[in-house]
Structure 1
Amino acid sequence: MDLAAKSELVEQVRAFVDWVGAGRKLTQTGRITMTDARVLVPLLGTGDVIDPAIGDRVYRTGSSQDLLHLTLIVEWAKAASLVRKTGQRLVPVKKNAALLNDMPKLWLALFTVFEQAGDALLHSGFGESLLRQEFATGIRAVLISLYRADSAVTTASLCTTVWTVTAAPYDLDQATEFQLQHLRGVNDRDTKRAFEALRQLGAVTIENDAVKLTELGQFGIRRILGEPEPGDPVYQVKITLIGLEVWRRVLVPANIRLDRLHRVIQNTMGWENAHLHAFSDGQTHYGVPDPELQHHDERATNLNDLVKPGGRLLYTYDFGDSWDHEIRIEEATVAESDVHYPRCVEGKGACPPEDSGGLPGYEQLVQILTDPGHEEHQDMLDWLGLDSRDQFDPAHFDLGEVNRQLT
């Protein structure tokens, strides 16, 4: 973590917060004034060009918002709660002032909120990319891809990953080839800009048109994903879908938050996270905060706060179908180096389809699908999107696919 002190962007953010001092006046739109911007650009070494000259003509910069790197530094400092806007002033957040003298913690704070930097980092309006709208999703996907890779990954491959993820929420079937090429082009441009910001932060290196996580970047991703450091406590957990021969054995950090454990269960079992859920230790229910359900906040509770090895929790998914799972802590161990967590090590059986009616409905579905002569056989195939009953296997389990879902 000593490398954090060498991060170009960390030093720029730190210098900016020092410049803010007791507070600085903002414009009516909440931006840094151009008078101050003319001081900050050379002071911080942002590389922004004020009043650019094109040919014989000088185009006067009318707003600090047009200075992308300076805007990035300002918004990044806000996202990390180092400064905040109050009225028409920008002031320091006193409770986080200590971060400025702790470079590793400052670096981690900035890296953790990078997913919130899309609006400040990327162009808006004409030529805006899909990545700008889906920045958190796209950046998380590419950082995880880098984290799982054994070596540097080509920029082209990472741009494809970002395009696939960011385009997924949109219906582009009617787009022309020219429109698709344009969208892909600006997406690739902004992906590379994000890589450059991460390079300046010290999270990646870029050499020979390939990107690789630095030691700092790997540390940051482990923290974001909640992965344990080597030697940290790990629980071996068996997740059993009660009433069926469907189970998964998974290694998770002992202190994993329940909201993250929820995602592990969804991904390892094969659910689609389309319904409500809750954990129960027999006395208290934990889930997404809701005034009606009155569940305790699962984000504020760690697994090892509730159960120890030999103990169990109940996890219910879809309050209509009531899929109950037993979460049993089989044993405690420690995290190994070069092993990613959470990790599924064993399992059995396929997850029932969503909305199949709980145990009774699923048992009926299996009966119908295994009987080609049943009057509802074709209707069930159509509902599941299957061409034949051979594509439905209640015993199917693919360990590799499960672990790919966990990444």
Structure 2
Amino acid sequence: MSTKKQRRAKRKAKQAERASNPNRVVPLFDSSLSPALQGRFAQWLTERVIPDDPDQVAMFVRRVSLALDDFADQRPGFRPDAWTRADVDGLESMLASIGEEFGPEARIATTLPVTSFLEFLVESDLWAGTDEVATYAIERLEQVFGLRYVGADIAPVDEDEERAALLATGVLQRITAFLDWLGDGKPVTQTGWLKLAAARDLATALDVPVYEHLRSMGDHPYLSGMWNYLKVLDLVDVGSTRATPGPRVPEWTDQSLDFLRSALATWVGGRLPKPNALASVRSDVGAQVIGVVIQAMSSSPVTDADIDRWRDDEIGADLGYLVREYLSAFVAEGWLYYVDGAYVIPEGLRPAVVSAIPEPPDLPDLPAIGMLTLRVELEYVQPAVWRTIRVHSDTMLGELHEMLQVIFDWEDSHLHQFAAGDAVYIPGHQLPDDLDSRDNTENEDLTAVGDILRRKGDQAIYEYDFGDGWTHRMTVVDLDEDEDDDAKQGVVEGAGMAPFEDVGGPPGWEHFLAAVNTPSHPEHQNLRRWAGIPAGVSVDAKVFDVGAVNRQLDRLGLR
């Protein structure tokens, strides 16, 4: 697999090859997707997957081309439109490796476009491989990505059939049993729970276990949960001394379809685990359970065999076991069915269950790929000091730091950091050993510029010398995804002399300029001697030599 660092090495190798052999023959074909195929894929994505985001469509196409190009470097003869089972296994390994090195977001950001490309080939009759390999590939890629939020099949249902299906669930049957038991009311404690004797009677009526040492209804997980659920539905009204039928009991009695749907949806919504925003999609039990429930309403429900194939290499506990614990409970509640080894939700229950599904988590923004043009401005400095630079998206922040030191004539004698969003990026050797103490602090040597600056208008901060407080605001003014990898980085234009090191920050620089250019200033001579400015030479703070900076970048191998 070609990592970002390896791609940079490959680009430099290409530069060296071109310099040593200017008459080399460029092959007519390469392993990248043809422009025609890229165009058809982009059209399919626009129509089927990403209708209102041309930038994201272009990113999908570019990422697929790069991923398959990298993979073809490893496997001569690889065809993007006709994979073998060995190709699939190799791709799965490559994508998993991306996650190990760069995190789950990077893995997802590559796997989803590749999976979409395969689906595009199959649906567009462009797949030249076998149907068996295509099915195998999609299954294996989905294991890398994690169960996806697929569309549920919600067909129109006869109202009487839907009502009967809802009332047949264990959840709603217990509502009936509860209301029959409640009658005109039962006594409650000052804390709003049923009195202990009544709670024990209710457990018997609902056919749930009665714990011998139960001291309060609040200590019984099922009874307390059911009680709160009935209060949310307004089917029970809890007063200071007595619980009585709630204001919506007539809707229940009339078997209002809207109310029955709402009753099941409320229960399901409370029972579904919440996805963990800090976990990878593949290792997140909550996301996987929700994925099973969604696919239980589709034409391709999840089977026990599917769950058996899940790998649990990212978490300590067995993923399949944890997911099955949830599914078994849902089956016992009667709204999820287990049929011939598969988890299915009957059509009559789907309108209620689908309304309980939480919104899918946003997919992570895909990193930029190509040549970024950045305007880098030194804040709070007059006259204005700014540079427009071009940098490859896969350049690591650590290398960008080296470039900025040259571009702004710093001496790299102080600490620095990058900041984007809520995250801060520092050199790897400065990271604390304790992961819990890192908070949102990341390794700049493992983070590419394109990971934090992804589209026009995106901004990040580069701060140097925390004492003087030199703040460089970086803004993306352009992203050229078609730029050749061999294109040079460097400065395009700029203005303003970079301040001197240790001059005291923006106020110190302003004071310095006023003093060295004003012979009558009391610090005129001292500051000129400190800066090494020869007699008779004025300091023009507006000058900037683009060529000199780029030559220095060349000498240091930073272009």
Q: What TM-score do the two structures reach when normalised by structure 1?
A: 0.42
Higher strand share: 1
